[in-house]
Amino acid sequence: MIFGNLSEKLQDVFARLRGRGKLTEKDVDAALREVRLALLEADVNFRVVKDFIGRVKSRAMGQEVLGSLTPGHQVIKIVNDELTQLLGGKAIPLTMASTPPTKIMLVGLQGSGKTTTAAKLAAMLGKRGRRPLLVAADVYRPAAIKQLQVLGETVGIPVFNMGQGQSPVNICKAAVEHGRSHNNDVIIFDTAGRLHVDDELMEELGEIKEAVEPHEILLVVDAMTGQDAVNVAASFDERLDLGGVVLTKLDGDARGGAALSIAAVTGKPIKFAAMGEKLTDLEVFHPDRMASRILGMGDVLSLIEKAEEVMDQEKVKALGQKLAAAQFTFEDFLEQLNQVRQMGPLDQIIGMIPGLAGAKQLQGLQVDESQLRKVEAIINSMTPQERRNPSLLNGSRRKRIARGSGTTVQDVNRLVKQFNQTRELMKKLGTFDKGKRRMSKGFLSFFQ
Amino acid sequence: MAWRNLFRRGEGKAPDEPGILDRLKAGLQKTRTMLTDGLDNVLRGHRQIEESLFEELEELLIQADVGMKTTLELVDWLREECRQQKMTDPQGVKPLLAQRMKEILGSCSAPLAEGPDQPTVYLVVGVNGTGKTTTVGKLAARCQRRGQKVLLGAADTFRAAAIEQLETWAARSGAEIVKHQAGADPAAVAHDAAQAAKARGVHTLIIDTAGRLHTKSNLMAELEKIEKVLARSLGRRPDEVLLVVDATTGQNAISQAKMFKGAVEPTGVVLTKLDGTAKGGIVLAIAAEVGLPVKLIGVGEGIDDLRDFHPELFVEAILAEGS
Ligand SMILES: Nc1nc2c(ncn2[C@@H]2O[C@H](COP(=O)(O)OP(=O)(O)OP(=O)(O)O)[C@@H](O)[C@H]2O)c(=O)[nH]1
Ligand SMILES: [Mg+2]
């Protein structure tokens, strides 16, 4: 990652000024240049960036920063505050109708993920005890209706369709009637993807809106969207007066700067984040977490939460003590791999660690099932001494282990390397700044 | 924007939408000049070549999604070139910049390969929703129009109704299709499609694959396997492995290109959805940083909306008026 750990960078910029007494406007500018780069690399629209930097600067020039003993910290805090603020402050729930059914319309560009999101949203609401109805209103894309039907069946939610022969407006109108008579309290309309500059199709959305009077219109946006996100969001908002935004494909390594651009241009909240292809992978959006992700500071909170969900507190404590005493062994390694695996795909987990998202040397850490089995086989072929004291592993021992585990010497070498990298990772996690440690009783005590 | 005007056949100019622009302006009032004006306006705003001109150029390129690294390289090069040539007239900047961009795009450019042996085989890959299946359909139609017999391989067995979607495109284009059931092994589909292509003497085989995020190692491994099995059935690599990139994508496309390169060595990029307002400048970064040429562009959802890539036209569009 080009801008690695922004927070570290900013600390550096200010650390150089320590003991010089006063910060000048120039010092602040230097730091904000780093922030600007991070934002641009994250695809925040450049006009939004300018505006944002201007606002941060005026705050940073105030007494609270310049007088502070830790100006670096203060600037990071201001940047984070402002970002979080712009992204909507706190999570904003879906608008529900006082008298059901609640009608939710999903709109967006082609390929942004509307159909999958519709099914995920329906599943989520179904779990909360609602009785949703999905409406297949994409009559244009080949097999779009079929796609929604298959997804509906998977999540056990009924899907209303009238084939491709009817106009989307008529389909949506009929769906409302159908939903009313079938006692559905939420109706979700999956509309066809369209370009924001396609007048005819944008007009069609306006007509659907008029016909069904939705309580919520959500713009579905791909987290990988670039500078054009502002044009897209402004156009959809202008025509439809959006209620909010769903950000999709956040399970990749996109920084998601589009979120910030959209928030800045429309002022509309981001309500959900889609994090995977599984139909349960929809989460309520957390502006604070997104803020640090955009800046490349990692998503520490999500990481801690995930860790706390799956880690056995007692074991964590024991492991922490071993780590401190530098007794971390291959046995612990195996144990820990298994636990981390329960937290979710490792690539996602790494993406949440400050400064590690995209770190080249850690890509080898991506494990899938077959690799994990290999790891197990290799460790099982080690003698107990070797497991406890990895420095014993010389060439001939490695050869023996490879033979014993049905793997190659390269496999063994790779594992030993990963083992060492994991130790590095521990070190890195262990050097979080003190303030963050307090946030978690569990996971971070691991490293204390 | 320019692409729309260049490629929309039989239609008038893109409609003006003053309302939206006004709103955008209003929303961002505090920011300085609007820089959607294109290179010409930037240059007109300066009486001589000066630092602020380069800064505005930077913004123009960033706005087109060219990305920080490639933008800085381009502008640094330009600054140096202007200095060496002792250039003072801003108008001299345009041909220099355009030439440099064409060089970057052209240095690795090559037309869509056709196999020395039949069938010519294209494997189509990319992240979710970029336009793979649509591109397969359009490409099939183009080959059919040229009198070539085409077979499609439905190797997206994962996404709901992906097979049905490709079947529609097969019917539209007049191509044949080899498919298995939903959930089947995509590598097996690729193998069967290759065997069928040889047996039926088709001219072109195009394989559609499931969208996958480049960060998912298991899905990338699956793709590697598809390619390996395909190559084994053919006795050679596919003639093209086409990475489909959505023009709306920002800097993440570089990560996509790098990771797909690590897995299946794409031979070229298809840049889709250029009929929108996104400029697709990310392909400059992909060419400069990853060395992948653009082979085709998608300019609409229709069956005829596929074009060859021309660096000249593309560079003009990027440097032209904004949306
Ligand atoms: N405007 C426009 N839309 C396009 C273009 N190419 C594809 N699309 C649309 O983008 C959407 C997604 O296209 P698909 O071909 O299904 O994309 P895909 O990559 O196969 O998607 P997955 O298989 O789900 O990953 C569809 O609505 C297409 O009609 C293009 O060049 N311009
Ligand atoms: Mg597809």
Give the pLDDT confidence of B256-292 residue by residue, as tens digits.
999 999 999 999 999 999 999 999 999 999 999 999 9
| Positions of CATH 1.20.120.140 in chain A | 4-86
Q: Which residues line ligand 1 (CB under 6 A)?
A: A 110-111, 141, 193, 195; B 126, 128-134, 156, 159, 162, 210-211, 244, 272-273, 275, 298-301, 305
Q: Report the mean per-residue pLDDT for chain B.
A: 88
For residue A313, what pLDDT is reported?
A: 59
Closest ligand 1 atom number to CA of residue A198: 1
Confidence of residue B205 (pLDDT cuts 50, 70, 90): very high
pLDDT for residue A425:
61
Give CA–CA dist A185/A174, Å, rounded: 15
The pLDDT, as a whole number, for residue A74 is 74
Contacts B129 to A, Cβ<8 Å: 110-113, 222
Question: In this model, does residue A363 exceed pLDDT 90?
Answer: no
Which one of A231, A238, A265 has the shortest CB-CB distance to B323? A231
Half-sphere exposure for B73 (CA within 13 Å, toward CB): 12
| Confidence tier at A419 by pLDDT (50, 70, 90) | confident
Mean per-residue pLDDT, A222-233: 95
Q: What percent of chain A has pLDDT over 70?
A: 71
- Please judge whether B165 and A149 are an interchain contact, meaning their C-beta atoms are less than 8 angstroms apart: no
Alpha-carbon radius of gyration of chain A? 25
What mean pLDDT, rounded, does chain A reach?
A: 80
Question: Residues B68-93: what's their mean pLDDT?
Answer: 94
CA gap B54, B248 in Å, rounded: 25
pTM of the entire structure?
0.79
> What is the spatial distance between Cα B127 and Cα B209, in angstroms, rounded to a whole number?
10
* Dist CA A87 CA A143 (whole Å): 35
- Chain B within 8 Å of A199 (Cβ-Cβ)? yes
| Residue A94 banded pLDDT, cuts 50, 70, 90 | very high
pLDDT (average), residues A157-164: 97
Query: Are B165 and A141 in contact (CB < 8 Å)?
Result: yes
Question: How much is the CA Rg of chain B, to the nearest whole Å?
Answer: 21
Q: Is the pLDDT of residue A355 over 50?
A: no
Phi, psi of B125, deg, nearest 5: -130, 165
Nearest-CA residue for ligand 1 atom 17 is B131
CA pair distance B4, B297, nearest whole angstrom: 12
Instruction: State how far the alpha carbon of A406 is from the alpha carbons of A375, A376, A400, in Å.
Output: 11, 11, 10
Name the band, by pLDDT with cuts 50, 70 and 90, for residue B188.
very high
- Over the stretch B138-154, which tens digit does the pLDDT of each residue have? 999 999 999 999 999 99
**E strand segments, chain B:** 120-125, 150-155, 176-178, 204-209, 240-246, 268-272, 294-298, 306-308
- Give the residue, out of B1, B133, B134, B308, with the most ligand 1 atoms within 8 A of its beta carbon, to mutate for a pocket test: B134
For residue B19, pLDDT over 60 is answered with: no
CA–CA dist B262, A364 (Å, integer)? 13
Looking at residue A76, what is its pLDDT?
A: 76
* Ligand 1 midpoint to CA A114 (Å): 12
Instruction: Calculate how close chain A gets to B217, using CA atoms only, in Å.
Output: 7
Task: Identify which of B8, B317, B263, B274 has the alpha carbon closest to the alpha carbon of residue B130.
Answer: B274
For residue A244, the model assigns a pLDDT of 95
Which residue matches tokens 């072109």? B204
Q: Do B127 and A41 touch (CB under 8 A)?
A: no
DSSP state of B13: P
pLDDT at B8: 34
Q: Name the band, by pLDDT with cuts 50, 70 and 90, for residue A63.
A: low
Q: Would you state the pLDDT for residue A316?
A: 58
Distance of CA A34 to the CA centre of its chain: 22
Interface contact A257, partner B, CB < 8 A: yes
Higher pLDDT, A318 or A55: A55
Distance CA B209, CA B122 (A): 11
Instruction: Specify the higher pLDDT residue, A428 or B18.
Output: A428
Look at residue B318 and tell me whether its pLDDT is greater than 90: no
- Which has the minimum average pLDDT: A199-203, A440-444, B184-188, B245-249? A440-444
Q: Right CATH number for A302-447 from 1.10.260.30, 3.30.420.40, 1.10.230.10, 3.20.20.150?
A: 1.10.260.30
Find how far residue B144's CA is from the centre of its chain: 22
Q: Minimal CA–CA distance to A57: which of A89, A90, A23? A: A23
> Residue A202 C-alpha to ligand 1 middle, in angstroms?
18
Q: How far apart are CA A269 and CA B103, in angstroms?
A: 43
Question: Residue B16: what are its φ and ψ, rounded to 5°?
Answer: -75, 145
- Inter-chain touch A264–B221, beta carbons under 8 Å: no
Chains A, B: CB pairs < 8 Å:
187
Give residue B131's region: left, alpha or beta (phi > 0; psi -120 to 50).
left
Reply yes or no on whether the pLDDT at A427 is more than 70.
no
Ligand nearest to the CA of B127: 1
Q: Which of A82-96, A426-440, B31-45 has the lowest mean pLDDT?
A: A426-440
pLDDT at A90 over 50: yes
Which among B246, B248, B277 is the top mutation candidate for probing chain A, defined by the most A β-carbons within 10 Å of its own β-carbon?
B248
Q: Report long-range pairs for A368-372 (Cβ below 8 Å, ≥24 apart).
A: A368/B217, A368/B218, A368/B221, A369/B218, A372/A337, A372/A341
- Token pair for B157: 């067995």
CATH architecture of A4-86: Up-down Bundle (1.20)
Instruction: Please give the average per-residue pLDDT across B289-304, as a whole number.
Output: 95
Domain with CATH 3.40.50.300 in chain A: 102-296
Q: Give which of B132, B253, B305, B69 is closest to A222, Cα–Cα.
A: B253
CATH topology of domain A102-296: Rossmann fold (3.40.50)
B243's tokens: 């990475």
* Contact status, residue B244 vs residue B131, Cβ threshold 8 Å: yes
Which residue in the block uniquely carries the two structure tokens 């007009």?
Answer: A203
Every domain range in chain A assigned CATH 1.10.260.30: 302-447
